[in-house]
């Protein structure tokens, strides 16, 4: 059977890392050894991220164990909070507005692949989260999504389309099932 994709032909065409190879290596070492695994004061974490090009407004709180792929592609508005265990896979820019809460273990993923491409090339797009919004614990927001101002994304929600200003989106809720009907 012939394989669906020829991954040996993958080129990554159109993807711009946005930083030199030396800057990328230095960031990966610094984040992998110091920021992602060891505890350090939030002010120190913010200073290091700013030194690598993150645009962090005053009052931003980034908790420990937050993974940020490329800090130079991250912008966070004032008084916003990013919870521990969050992973920001920002191959493209991620903008988080002011007074916004990104809760624990959220996954913001700007990267994907084009399933129609025989070599599985990238299909990336930015993510924007508006002012005063809340992305609750373990939610996943995929590439190209804009979450409006004052919107709420519930815990464990999978967001694949834009969320309007003030809108609330929730994950499906577990339901009790009659065990005799499924026995």
pLDDT value, residue 98: 98
Phi-psi region of 105 (alpha: psi -120 to 50; beta: other; left: phi over 0): left
Look at residue 182 in the predicted model and tell me its pLDDT.
Answer: 62
Spatial distance between the Cα atoms of 113 and 142, rounded to a whole number of angstroms: 12
Output the pLDDT for position 135: 98
pLDDT digit string, tens, across residues 85-124? 999 999 999 999 999 999 999 999 999 888 888 888 888 9
Which stretch of 1-15, 76-90, 143-157 has the lowest confidence by average pLDDT? Answer: 1-15
Q: How far apart are CA 11 and CA 7, in angstroms?
A: 9
DSSP structure class, residue 142? E
pLDDT digits (tens, 9 = 90+) for 44-92: 889 999 999 999 999 999 998 899 999 999 999 999 999 999 999 999 9
Contact 110, 92 (CB under 8 A): yes
pTM over 0.95? The answer is: no
Query: According to the model, what pLDDT value does residue 30 have?
Result: 85
Q: How much is the pLDDT for 37?
A: 66
Banded model confidence at residue 177, pLDDT cuts 50, 70, 90: confident
Host H or E run for residue 82: strand 81-82
The CATH number assigned to the domain with range 19-172 reads 2.160.10.10
Helix (H/G/I), strand (E/B), else coil: 35: helix
pLDDT at 89: 96
Average pLDDT of the chain is 91
Please compute the mean of the pLDDT values over residues 130-143 and round it to a whole number.
98
Domain boundaries, the chain: 19-172
Whole-number pLDDT of residue 47 = 92
Average of per-residue pLDDT across 165-175: 93
């Amino acid at each position: 059977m012939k394989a669906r994709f020829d991954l040996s032909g993958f080129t990554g065409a159109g993807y711009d890392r946005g930083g030199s190879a030396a800057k990328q290596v230095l960031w990966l070492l610094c984040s992998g050894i110091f920021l992602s695994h060891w505890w350090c004061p939030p002010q120190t974490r913010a200073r290091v991220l700013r030194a690598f090009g993150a645009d962090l407004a005053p009052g931003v709180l980034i908790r420990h164990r937050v993974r940020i792929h490329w800090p130079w592609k991250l912008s966070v508005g004032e008084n916003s909070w990013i919870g521990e265990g969050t992973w920001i896979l920002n191959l493209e820019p991620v903008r988080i507005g002011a007074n916004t809460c990104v809760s624990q273990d959220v996954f913001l993923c700007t990267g994907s692949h084009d399933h129609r491409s025989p070599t599985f090339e990238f299909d990336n797009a930015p993510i924007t989260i508006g002012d005063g919004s809340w992305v609750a614990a373990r939610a996943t927001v995929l590439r190209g999504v804009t979450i409006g101002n004052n919107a709420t994304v519930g815990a464990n929600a999978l967001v694949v389309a834009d969320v309007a200003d003030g809108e609330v989106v929730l994950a499906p809720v577990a339901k009790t099932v009659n065990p005799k009907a499924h026995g």
